[in-house]
Amino acid sequence: MTIKVSVIGATGRMGKLALDVIKGAQDLELHSALDSKSELSMAIGADVIFEATKLDVSREVVAFAIENKLNILVATSGWSENDREELNADSAVVFVPNFSVGSVLGSKFAAIAAKHFDSIEIIETHHAGKIDSPSGTAIRTAELIAESRAEANLIQPLIPGVGQEARGEVVSGVPIHSLRLDGVSAKQEVVLGGASELLTITHEVGSVQAYALGILHSIRYAAANKGLTVGLDKVLGI
C-alpha cells in the first residue's frame, strides 16, 4: 500500500528533508507540497500530513487535520504537554520533537540514570537560526526524566542556586540552558551530579540527514495508528 503524504512547510529544512525521504521510499508518494502561500485544503486526500512550520502555524494545521480527520505528523517544536493533552482526535496526531534515533536513545538513557541522581540539568545547543528555546527535544527529555523519577516515587530533581538568576528555564523540575550558535546543528548534554561523580550523556547531530530514518518510520507509524502519540521512542517501541 502506498502512503500519500502532504508536506506543510515544504520550503524549510525539515520540509525539504521530508520531500527527499518521500522520494526515496517505495511505499511513500508525495500528495502535495505546501508553503506559506498555500491553502491547507490542498492537503485533503493525503494519508498523512507532515508538518514542520512555526508554533502558531502548527496549531492551525493540527486543528485543520483533526477537523478533517487527517493523520498528522508534527515536527514543529514548542508544543507543551498541556497543549497536547487538550487535543481530542479520532485520527493520528503524532508529535516527534526529534527524529534522531541517537537522540531518542540519549534521552532514554538520561531517564534511566535520573532514578539514581537528584542533581540534573540539561544544556541544549542549536544553530543560530532556531527560534524556539528550550528545544522540543530538551523539553521532552525533561519530561521523561520527571516521569522516570515519579515511577520510582522520587521527588523531582533538586534545583540548586537559590538567588541565582541565570539558572535557565525549569521544565518538569529540570533546569534547561539553551545556546544558539553558529557552527553547530544540534547538541544536547544531560548532566547528572552525584556524590563525588558526574555523569554526562551527550548527543550531537552534524546535519539534518540524521533525521531521515526517524521521519520515514514516523510517517509509516502515523498512517497505521490512531490517537495521540508523543516521541520517536513510542514510534520505535523503545
CATH code at 141? 3.30.360.10
Give the domain range for residue 182. 101-207
Tell me: do 88 and 146 sit in the same domain: no
Per-residue pLDDT of 52-102, as tens digits, reads 999 999 999 999 999 999 999 999 988 888 888 889 888 999 999 889 999
Distance from C-alpha of 215 to C-alpha of 99, rounded to nearest angstrom: 6
Tell me: do 28 and 50 sit in the same domain: yes
Tell me: do 95 and 213 sit in the same domain: yes
Known catalytic residues are 126, 130
Tell me: do 137 and 53 sit in the same domain: no
Residue 79's pLDDT is what?
A: 86
Tell me: do 119 and 187 sit in the same domain: yes
Tell me: do 91 and 175 sit in the same domain: no
Tell me: do 39 and 72 sit in the same domain: yes
Over the chain (238 residues), the average pLDDT of each successive run of 10 is 96 96 98 96 98 96 96 91 86 93 95 96 94 88 94 85 77 94 94 97 94 97 95 92
Tell me: do 24 and 76 sit in the same domain: yes
SS3 content of the chain, % helix, strand, coil (to 5): 35, 30, 35
Tell me: do 93 and 121 sit in the same domain: no
Tell me: do 95 and 107 sit in the same domain: no
